[in-house]
Homo-oligomer: A and B are copies of this chain.
Amino acid sequence: MTTPDRPGFALPLLLLAGFRTLVDDLHAELARQGHPDLRPAHGFVLQAVGPAGTTASDLGHRLGVSKQAAGKTVDRLVALGYLERVDDPADARRKLVRVTAKGRDGLHRSAAVFDQLRGRWAATLGVDRVTAIEDDLRRMVPADVFRLDVPGWFGG
């Protein structure tokens, strides 16, 4: 894709490109390490489920999507072996969603690969530049930006 003519286009494009390269590298490495089915969105979900487990409704609430969407995503991750559903003995309506051992493995490997990629950026740019980017971005993004409830983002 050619560089846009207008200056303002560069910043969002570069931020997206930076994110994309990191995530593409992550998933290329994860596929190599035995997780070829893990998709970018799955990391968010596994992270949101957490070590204690949750329900589909609560997961939807955390991710800012409907409980139905969260339920379907859980279905896919259960089919892939990253999550499991267990009945809640205290409430017959609820089904606890929990991360499996395979899910924890994927999460740990993701963290390790991201650490390694950040190290690669630091080796090229210098650690101070990387932390400066992080600090600057932290100042510019609102705290609740990770809610995926904006229509048109990941499907709308």
Contact = CB atoms under 8 A, between A and B. Distances in A.
B12 A140 contact: no
Contact of A8 (B117, B144, B147, B150): B117
A124 interface: yes
Interface stretch (A81-89, A90-98, A130-138): A130-138
Interface string A86-117: 00000000000000000000000001111111
A140 B114 contact: no
Contact of A22 (B15, B21, B113, B155): B15
A118 B1 contact: no
Contacts of A17: 137, 141, 145-146
A139 B114 contact: no
A34 interface: no
Contacts of A117: 8, 11
